[in-house]
């Protein structure tokens, strides 16, 4: 891994990536909103599907919390489109397609592109990691070694706790 994980309090690296429909999205497009930027290894695999479905099912709660959910993997827009359609995903999937050197740039900038090992074989891949980026573009929270089951709830809980940390007050009924 050449990039390092971004620590909470640091400025989140900029990105400009196509989504499942080929439309481009930049981090700057979401200024003033909280962004849940979750990195996952591969479309339509078991863990990645569970994680995506949990974010889909909690969409209203994320919206109420003032957050936009963005999923990122090295799969291309066509793969993302099939994955989103198959599972009725209601949020944006960003395609961080690897460059000529085999490295997906945004995954690398966020420190989630690393050497992994399966059945004794070493390879480069995405470490399942989620960042909450605050309205000012700073990383508010990072989740490492994410387990897909229950992850969306963990992220929501952190978002709900965030206003107290930033000094902003919010009336709750």
Cα separation values, 168 from 8, 39, 65, 75, 160, Å:
18, 28, 13, 37, 12
Active site residue 48: yes
Angle of the 151-166 helix axis to the 46-57 helix axis, nearest 10? 50
Q: Is the Cβ–Cβ distance between 37 and 62 less than 8 Å? A: no
Tally of residues, the chain: 173
Catalytic residue among 48, 67, 84, 156: 48
Report, as residue numbers or ranges, the catalytic residues: 48
């Amino acid at each position: 891994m050449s990039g390092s994980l971004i620590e909470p309090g640091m400025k989140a690296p900029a990105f400009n990536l196509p989504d499942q429909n080929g439309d481009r999205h930049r981090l700057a497009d979401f200024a003033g909103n909280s962004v849940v930027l979750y990195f996952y290894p591969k479309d339509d695999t078991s863990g990645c599907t569970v994680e995506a479905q949990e974010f889909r099912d909690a969409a209203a709660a994320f919206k109420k919390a003032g957050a936009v959910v963005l999923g990122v993997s090295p799969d291309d827009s066509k793969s993302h489109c099939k994955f989103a359609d198959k599972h009725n995903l209601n949020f944006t999937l960003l395609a961080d397609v690897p460059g000529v050197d085999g490295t997906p740039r945004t995954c690398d900038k966020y420190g989630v592109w690393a050497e992994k090992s399966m059945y004794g074989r070493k390879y480069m891949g995405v470490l399942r990691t989620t960042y909450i980026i605050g309205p000012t573009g700073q990383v508010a929270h990072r989740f490492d070694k994410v387990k897909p089951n229950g992850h969306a709830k963990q992220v929501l809980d952190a978002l709900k706790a965030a206003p107290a940390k930033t000094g902003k007050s919010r009336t709750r009924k």
